[in-house]
Structure 1
Amino acid sequence: MDGSLQARSATAAALRDDALRGLRQPQKVLSPKWLYDQRGSALFEQITALPEYYLTRTEAAILKDNAARLAGLVPEGGALVEFGSGASVKTRRLLDAGGHFAAYVPIDISAVFLAETAQDLRRRYTEIEIAPVVADFTAAVALPEHLEATPKVGFFPGSTIGNLPPETATALMAHARAWPGVEGFILGVDLVKDSETLVAAYDDSQGVTADFIANILHRLNRELGADFDLSHFAYRARWNAAAARIDMELVSRRAQNVALGGATIGFDAGEAIHVSASRKYTEASLARLVQPAGWRVETLLTDAARRFAVAVLAPV
């Protein structure tokens, strides 16, 4: 078996095991990391352009206004390392201002999407080494060996950290703190605000977010031969004030059984699969998140309405 077939086989086995484990729990869950195959990554890029989704344009404006300052956090000849890079759209603000960078290391779970993005970046930024790493960034990621001793700054925009359980988010930040030569971290976080604005951002009028979340069932059907009938599931987004998060779920419209990986998964009418959560932060709750991982909030850059923040973290 060649390497690519082995990788696909290993991914399918991990997807099957993770899905069966999650769907057998009393509260059914599917990990949001499986949303990001090639189709899912493309759908998410569509979401970022939706009128209701204020997060991307607000963060982009903060990055534009502070690009030189943020790029300057990377030492001369240093590397910018990004978790969950996707199409690296926002990162280009820093790359444009970072002529002194030696390397940019985009880390993403979607190999095909990452390869396409890296190829485009190499054409645009010929003086910067583009060193992509295919990995699940929620675990410790091995950076390219030749960059191990290079001074580096982490970058995690888009408030994606809000999609992680707090303990996972803190562990991720601890992994980054353990990188040799790490000198700082730039972190995008969405801030707590009124529930109407928050729910609209995750339940858009065009239904793109619903398609994105439902893509996880498409993937189970396509890659594992499951028989989810997507017309029998509805998308729901709701604000959980107690946990300061938006919960995104797929709700069974009827009692039904689904075949998956040699097993049968039963659903009651109205039973939900929790697919993703997006946590929102205050300055105090963000500090509580990163301090156990060895970081402190040095600067919090926000828009005028304080809807979104780009936090500059320093190691302690």
Structure 2
Amino acid sequence: MAIGNGEGRRMTILAGIDEAGFGPLLGPLVVSSCAFAVAPEHVEADLWQVLKKSVGKTRKHLRGRLLIADSKKAYKRDEGLGHLERTILAAMRCLGQTPGTLGGFLKLVCPECHRRVLDCPWYQGAEGRALPCDGADLRIASGVFAGDMANARAALTDVSAYCLDAGHYNMLVERMKNKSQVLFVTTTRLLQGLMDRFADQDIHILVDRQGGRIHYREHLLRSFGQMELRIVEETERTSAYVLRGRSRAVHLRFEVGADDRHLPVALASMVSKYVRELLMECMNGYFGQMHPDLRPTAGYWTDGLRFLEDLRRCVPELHIDRRQFVRCR
């Protein structure tokens, strides 16, 4: 699918990938991608500046604009979903999608994972978890965002995610013997999805780098061996490559702190966090109804262990396959 502006000028796909939930003991690992079609001159630009009429990078002085930022800055647990929800649902409206429930949202952004995730009893509440997808403020913010992008010769073209529930995650770790490899393979699925959706177009993909890995050549060749690979740079901060095949090039950059430096990565970070937090809400609701003393958990190791102990103490008759519920190390 070639994307132009009506005058035949070719647009470039600029995408970001980021995750939420790589470290916790409980809950899903979610990896997401967000893709924009942009004018070639905007590939290296600061999209926060290009789209400054409709989006902001910090909470201060938003004046009705959408907050797009690293999810750690956009989301505060004691404040609720707030900015995460407003931004993600406004972005979905730009794609012509208005999911009314979490189940519907998952079916749109991660159709491969939707059924598997909702087969977990503690996530089945997602089917009925309503999303406020049609408020006046959301319609206005989404319209301003879409108009701002159109004026800048840009458009949001895709939001996708891949969700690993604990059981699936554990199965992959057992098979691959390495948590980091599981994350990379999941990221690769999103990379391949972007290449398939935007066939024959030049693509620039920015990935927030996790851990200390610098060299990706061997991993990329295993996944994209049919393409020619060139190393652009491999440094402590950035690992950049060009993959060439048929009539297009894929520019791939793994960068430390990419979610704070590139708007598409920040938006992907928010999508991942939004999905994870909603699923954790479903999980806490499922178990919370079993005993009044069961306090919710965010799933991180210390508090996750506390939750497991509370579950054992408060609901001793409950039997759960630990491999389906608790992440292996």
Higher relative contact order (CA 8 A, sep 6+): 2
When normalised by structure 1's length, the TM-score is 0.29
When normalised by structure 2's length, the TM-score is 0.28
Higher helix share: 2
Higher strand share: 1
